[in-house]
Amino acid sequence: MGQRSRTLESLDVNPEFWRDKRVFLTGHTGFKGSWLSLWLQEMGAQVTGFALAPDGAASLFTRADAGRNMHSIIGDVRDYAALQTALYNARPEIVIHMAAQALVRSSYADPVSTYAINVMGTVHLLEAVRHTQSVRAIVNVTTDKCYENREWVWGYRESEAMGGHDPYSSSKACSELVSASFRKSFFAPGHNVALATARAGNVIGGGDYAVDRLIPDVVAAFAADAPARIRNPHAVRPWQHVMEPLCGYLMLGQALFENGTTYADAWNFGPNADDTQPVEWIVRHMAQLWGPQARWEIDAGEHPHEAHMLRLDTSKANRQLRWTPQMDLRSALDWVTQWYRDANRGSAARELTLNQIRAYQARLQTTSRQ
């Protein structure tokens, strides 16, 4: 893994802190949710998940048996009563909200569901927290796409305007606004609940099998000896290994829990500037790592609008939370390619994922001692 030097004393994801913590995680059956469920279980947290059923046998949640040591509830965030009951019964101390309709193209196909899940789902969760005495900290996971995209070269700062062209991005901007309103109206300084939002870049990692996402599409094509078809080769995105934002969410959750509303704000988690790269760069590197049979071509068909340029300014998380990326993009692609190659050769998804979680945690501990 590529190393980054740290100028400030760094915090850590402290397994001691997470041991026996009661955590309520929405979206635990999804890609990021499966990784985070396994990481939290690894640290001994008492995790209750709330999400729709995993997306079939191919999903990482099923393949890695990610629900084994947690309480997994299958439910819909649009159903306020079900969500409130689940939250109340779990008596969580920390809530991490990741449940979402998370795909841009699906949001064009079904904007109504996208807004219902991403906006009213957030309202339901925050309202349920108001009626659950145990909660001390909430991390609402939105996205880098929540900013009004100006197609400029600079990274967006947390203070910049919310926006969003497509329904997904717009719904996540709405989720940010809902969070800001609940923070001001109900969880103001002095209140025992501290609420933050987290805006992360495009994540890559083993076990993502979603349709219409770059890495899953490319890996499926490479594995089938077919050319990967690339839609937006010049679109620039802040790519990160999935463990990086998850680390940010956990550090933020701990900071909120221990310091109350001091950290109750919006936070960007993204790669260092060099690792914000166009789609074409990613595909070229993946193809090199995969081997000579890997091919790709540009899909010149009509595609719905997607932003061309998107960068995040992460100075605030670097300085105030002391979060920094632990690996560069080449290392992240190495990890991703390794995961899928080993999985295709028959290695168990659970072990592959847990091994990378342990390697990442070891890296974090080493860095925090430097």
Ligand X SMILES: NC(=O)c1ccc[n+]([C@@H]2O[C@H](COP(=O)([O-])OP(=O)(O)OC[C@H]3O[C@@H](n4cnc5c(N)ncnc54)[C@H](O)[C@@H]3O)[C@@H](O)[C@H]2O)c1
Return the residues of window 24-43 that contact ligand X according to CB under 6 A. Answer: 27-33
Binding mask 262-281 for ligand X (x = CB under 6 A): --------------------
Binding residue for ligand X (CB under 6 A) from 202, 261, 337, 353? 202
d(CA 36, CA 32): 6
Binding residue for ligand X (CB under 6 A) from 77, 252, 264, 317? 77
What are residue 25's phi and psi, to 5 degrees?
-120, 115
Which C-beta is closer to ligand X: that of 113 or that of 368?
A: 113
Q: How far is the CB of 292 from ligand X (least distance, A)?
A: 29
Which C-beta is closer to ligand X: that of 117 or that of 119?
A: 117
Interaction of residue 52 with ligand X, rule CB under 6 A = yes
Binding residue for ligand X (CB under 6 A) from 38, 45, 70, 100? 100
CB 92 within 8 A of CB 128: no
Which C-beta is closer to ligand X: that of 43 or that of 173?
A: 173
Binding mask 5-24 for ligand X (x = CB under 6 A): --------------------
Interaction of residue 99 with ligand X, rule CB under 6 A = yes
Binding mask 301-320 for ligand X (x = CB under 6 A): --------------------
CB 172 within 8 A of CB 145: yes
Residue 358's CB is within 10 A of a number of other CB atoms, namely 12
Q: In terms of DSSP bridges, do strands 46-51 and 71-74 run parallel, antiparallel, or are they unpaired?
A: parallel
Can you list the alpha helix ranges (DSSP code H) found in the chain?
A: 15-18, 31-42, 60-63, 80-90, 104-109, 111-115, 121-130, 167-185, 214-223, 243-259, 279-290, 315-316, 329-344, 349-369
d(CA 239, CA 104): 16
Which C-beta is closer to ligand X: that of 43 or that of 141?
A: 141
Interaction of residue 215 with ligand X, rule CB under 6 A = no
From the number of C-beta atoms within 10 Å of its C-beta (0-12, 13-18, 19+), residue 212 rates as: exposed
> Which residues bind to ligand X, rule: CB under 6 A?
27-33, 51-52, 76-78, 98-102, 117, 141, 143, 200, 202-203, 210
